[in-house]
Amino acid sequence: MTSRKQEKFEMILDAAQKVIAENGFHGSQVSKIAKEAGVADGTIYLYFKKKEDILISLFEDRLGKLVDRFNSSIQETDTAEQALRKVCEIHFTELENNVDLAYVTQIELRQSSIELRKAIGLSVKPYIQLIEHIVQKGIHENSFRPELDPKLTRHLIFGAMDEVVTSWLISGRKYSLSAQVDKTVDFFLKALSS
Amino acid sequence: MTSRKQEKFEMILDAAQKVIAENGFHGSQVSKIAKEAGVADGTIYLYFKKKEDILISLFEDRLGKLVDRFNSSIQETDTAEQALRKVCEIHFTELENNVDLAYVTQIELRQSSIELRKAIGLSVKPYIQLIEHIVQKGIHENSFRPELDPKLTRHLIFGAMDEVVTSWLISGRKYSLSAQVDKTVDFFLKALSS
Amino acid sequence: MTSRKQEKFEMILDAAQKVIAENGFHGSQVSKIAKEAGVADGTIYLYFKKKEDILISLFEDRLGKLVDRFNSSIQETDTAEQALRKVCEIHFTELENNVDLAYVTQIELRQSSIELRKAIGLSVKPYIQLIEHIVQKGIHENSFRPELDPKLTRHLIFGAMDEVVTSWLISGRKYSLSAQVDKTVDFFLKALSS
Amino acid sequence: MTSRKQEKFEMILDAAQKVIAENGFHGSQVSKIAKEAGVADGTIYLYFKKKEDILISLFEDRLGKLVDRFNSSIQETDTAEQALRKVCEIHFTELENNVDLAYVTQIELRQSSIELRKAIGLSVKPYIQLIEHIVQKGIHENSFRPELDPKLTRHLIFGAMDEVVTSWLISGRKYSLSAQVDKTVDFFLKALSS
DNA sequence: CATGAATGAGCTTTCATTCAT
DNA sequence: CATGAATGAAAGCTCATTCAT
């Protein structure tokens, strides 16, 4: 019973991602998402309180899964350097391989109300903190400069990667995103290394 | 006549910035902007074809003035390093001293349709190119690493600064933004220097 | 089996009265009544054809019981005067002692569709007829004026009492309703007496 | 300009009365009223803040005009008895001659939310107070009993007349309402006279 | 008999844009 | 040039009712 509910919940999220990717944020009416999910409009409201909640859940779900992947991948690494490389690798590869998701997270979901963006911010936070931990680890390992401000640095790193992805999307994906990993990580390591 | 037209044009832009800063993007109806500007609703449409055009013009105007400041300030510098420091300094200082503008550019204007965001992208482009030129100049001066990819690097630098500003705003401006200039530029210079 | 059916029927009516008194007519969804009654939504429809039928039955049941009380009480009286006094006494006392019922009958149930109000009218009819009988009895006893029109008079009397109850409720029940019995009956007897 | 605004305001009220009389309260969508008034849906909201406001204004306007008629007619009377007769005469005649209005005020407008009914109550208050004044005048003139409670009496009189009108409507108007004036006023005067 | 998940019709309100004055 | 009254399309959400289990 719970699993059937969970199942339909996922179906609606999948439908929402597809509809948003195809029609854009403002062209994604509840009725369109319902149709794509193969349920009635009213059914949506058995699983989500408001339309916004679909988007928040969508972001939480997708980003949550990404952060899980980050965490488990990092545990296979020894140094902060390796961890940072892994993070950038997954970040770029994952979004390159899932253009719908990239479009939704980088473009569409940012066109939302301030309340929604705050909720989305909460989903991003674990990722930003993950980056901060890596920076701190690097400092402890003496591979990163001790005078680094981890709070500032995490934003510099996240912002840089985020913008690279967005500009890649807006350019029309004319080049490989994953091909930027090495240069990007080089940039970071040069900036961070002691 | 043209100057009178120009005058009213600016009045509407000023009104738009004020209204958006006060009411947020979604609370900024044409009628509200008209009222703030002291003109009738219909008058807006003598100066702008669509509502979006107000926002595009607003961004173009404000960012254009910023880029002008960047350009003239940079001409007072000798090295790419100095230029980059100047750019970051102006970027952070200007937005710290003009919170309305910061709020409008970092938060409100991003909640807009894809068409609008593309138009805004065009306004940002000269700034991104400015950063690229500085990187190229640094390479020519042999102060920056020759293997740097200027196209990628400009996004890394812009994205990093952009995210620092946004997170400063969202944090509630609890710390000084301009105080982050040195650490930020250090990060960049370490990343870039040969 | 029939008694079990009857039992659940009553449970639903009790639940309906409670829910309406607590949430008002427009806040009383079928699902809320079902929950209060401790049954599933669909179960309601095994006992009532439409939502309206719950309300009609509720009114019939409650008013039927009141009319029963009227009838048995009147049989203990000798004259039409005494009967009329008894009717007013029960009318006011009963509603004063059962504010939920008063609220539901005087305020909430009147906010209903025309069909429902007609059905409710049928429930009130026996009560109106009771009043008519008393008037006729008084005329026969020569205590009431022979020129009285019983059909008109029953409405004058019912309408007067009904409005007194409603205004007492709307006033916030700041005074005693039963304390109005004597003055009200005096008014009627003066109007009726030969 | 103000008169044009007033004119359209009245047009919408007239349309609302007609639509409600024809379709009932629940069948009277804003779009239907707008169509009947010959304006666009949105235009309604230039004159009324919410749909409910149409109904409140309708009641205020119609009842206000009635109370005006009451007041001026009463000034032509000398005694409280004459005044009371006049009130009942106008009350019954006016509604008999304007069945749409009768239907709307007695049946349809009562099926409304509690907030709306409170607002309507405010419109009825001047009328109820008018009745109270007549009662007080009668007491001063020594034609009415001094022990009468004017606050209670006004409700007895209003409630009686109100119910007579409603039952006349529900009966399908099979008899003359104005023909009930004499018997009704006789009832009141007998009840009131000293 | 009972359940409760699913349905989907239905309606108010906003606001960018127009155009007669 | 300027006005601002009028337009009307568009969409989120509720809830009575059904029916497969």
| Mutate which: D92, D111, D145, D149, vs C, most C CBs within 10 A | D111
CA of C44 to C1' of E9 (A): 22
Residues B94 and B12 in one domain: no
A157, A184 Cβ separation under 8 angstroms: no
Share of chain C above pLDDT 90, in %: 66
Neighbouring-strand partners of residue C144: C193
Reply yes or no on whether the pLDDT at A1 is more than 60.
no
CB atoms C160 and D156 under 8 Å: yes
User: Measured CA to C1', what is the nucleotide nearest D41?
Assistant: F8
Domain holding B117, by residue range, is 52-192
Domain boundary among C30, C48, C66: C48
Residues D157 and D98 in one domain: yes
Reply yes or no on whether the pLDDT at C8 is more than 70.
yes
Residues B43 and B58 in one domain: no
Reply yes or no on whether the pLDDT at A4 is more than 80.
no
A32, A19 Cβ separation under 8 angstroms: yes
CB atoms A187 and B159 under 8 Å: no
Question: CB count, 10 Å around CB of A150?
Answer: 17
Question: Among the listed ranges B7-11, B56-60, C118-122, C190-194, which one has the minimum average pLDDT value?
Answer: C118-122
Going by pLDDT thresholds of 50, 70 and 90, the confidence category of residue C178 is: very high
Integer-rounded Cα Rg, in Å, for chain A is: 18
Average confidence (pLDDT) over C83-94:
95
C73 touches chain D (CB under 8 A): no
Going by pLDDT thresholds of 50, 70 and 90, the confidence category of residue A17 is: very high
Going by pLDDT thresholds of 50, 70 and 90, the confidence category of residue B163 is: very high
Residues C180 and C160 in one domain: yes
Residues D43 and D1 in one domain: yes
pLDDT tens by residue, D46-98 = 999 999 899 889 988 988 888 898 889 999 999 999 999 999 999 999 999 99
C25 touches strand F (CB under 7 A): no
A184 touches chain B (CB under 8 A): yes
| Mutate which: A104, A111, A180, vs B, most B CBs within 10 A | A111
pLDDT tens by residue, B17-76 = 999 988 888 889 999 999 999 999 999 999 999 998 998 898 889 888 888 988 899 999
Query: Whose structure tokens read 């029940």?
Result: C173
pLDDT tens by residue, D89-134 = 999 999 999 998 998 888 887 777 767 777 788 888 999 999 999 9
Residues A84 and A166 in one domain: yes
The total number of residues written for chain C in this structure: 194
d(CA C7, CA D103): 40
CB atoms A160 and B157 under 8 Å: yes
d(CA A35, CA A21): 15
Question: CATH number for the domain including C10?
Answer: 1.10.10.60
Question: CATH number for the domain including D130?
Answer: 1.10.357.10
pLDDT tens by residue, A55-105 = 889 988 988 888 898 889 999 999 999 999 999 999 999 999 999 899 888
How many domains is chain A partitioned into structurally?
2
Reply yes or no on whether the pLDDT at D38 is more than 80.
yes
For residue B114, what are its two tokens?
Answer: 């894809």
| DSSP per residue, C57-71 | HHHHHHHHHHHHHHH
Neighbouring-strand partners of residue C193: C144
Look at residue B96 and give its three-state secondary structure.
helix
Residues B108 and B30 in one domain: no
pLDDT of residue D24: 83
Residues D30 and D56 in one domain: no
CA of D18 to C1' of F2 (A): 39
A94, A66 Cβ separation under 8 angstroms: yes
Residues B6 and B58 in one domain: no
Residues A124 and A43 in one domain: no
Residues A18-27: contacts with CB under 8 Å, at least 24 apart = A18/A100, A20/A55, A20/A58, A20/A103, A20/A104, A20/A108, A20/A109, A21/A99, A21/A100, A21/A101, A21/A103, A21/A104, A21/A108, A24/A108, A24/B113, A24/B114, A25/A108, A25/A109, A25/A111, A25/A112, A26/A111, A26/B113
Query: Whose structure tokens read 């019954």?
Result: D92
D23, D32 Cβ separation under 8 angstroms: yes
Residues C78 and C156 in one domain: yes
Average confidence (pLDDT) over C32-47:
96
What does DSSP assign to residue B193? B
pLDDT of residue D2: 66
Average confidence (pLDDT) over C95-122:
82
Reply yes or no on whether the pLDDT at A117 is more than 90.
no
- Residue A131: CB partners within 8 Å, gap ≥ 6? A84, A87, A153, A154, A157, A158
The helix or strand, by DSSP H or E, that contains position D84, with its residue range, turns out to be helix D80-97
Going by pLDDT thresholds of 50, 70 and 90, the confidence category of residue A2 is: low
Residue A104's Cβ-count burial label (10 Å; 0-12, 13-18, 19+) is buried
Question: CB count, 10 Å around CB of D143?
Answer: 15
Angle at the Cα of D56 from the Cα atoms of D51 and D57, rounded to 5 degrees: 95
Domain boundary among D48, D67, D84: D48
The CA distance from B153 to the nearest CA of chain A, in Å, is: 8
Residues A188 and A125 in one domain: yes
